[in-house]
Amino acid sequence: MQEQLVAKINDQLNKELYSGYIYLGMAACFEEGGLPGFAHWMKCQASEEQEHAMKFFEYLVQRGERVKLTAIEEPRFEYDSALDAFEAGLEHEKYVTGLIDDLYEMALEADDHAAAIFLQWFVTEQVEEEESFTKMRDDLLRLGDCEKGLYMLDRAAAARE
């Protein structure tokens, strides 16, 4: 594999781990704020990011490349509201989409067809990630300041698997 592509995949692996930290920080905020359903939703999201990181990990191993783990930055763990957290999550997912798109382009430019095929799953996954955060953000926007609605949406978020 091209050295720059290996480095970029390692970087993405570490960014996926950091994404999990971001969502755990949000979960902690929700736990503290008495919103256990949203906390559960974010814990599920954090777990999903860990799975994404492991896909990159295993791919590097399969290709005979070295996995390089780096320090993970402390995440933000205070948000003004559930809406603030989900808006931040959506912006982060858009950022990750850009990273995945750049990585995919790099694989194409390197004529690394195996890497490009591997990355196609992440391209599709990012559409789902953005949709998931957009839906929650939009539901929260519709609620406005309705405490009963927030309570109901929190309970619905607890059903995420």
Give pLDDT tens digits for 142-153. 999 999 999 999
Neighbours of 29 (CB within 10 A): 22
What are the domain boundaries of the chain? 3-157
Burial class (CB in 10 A: 0-12, 13-18, 19+), 36: middle
Q: Residue 3: what residue type?
A: E
By the 8 A CB rule, do 102 and 111 touch?
no
Residues 27-42: what's their mean pLDDT?
A: 98
Tell me, what's the pLDDT at 144?
Answer: 92
pTM of the model: 0.95
Tell me, what's the pLDDT at 87?
Answer: 98
In CATH, which superfamily holds the domain spanning 3-157?
Ferritin, core subunit, four-helix bundle (1.20.1260.10)
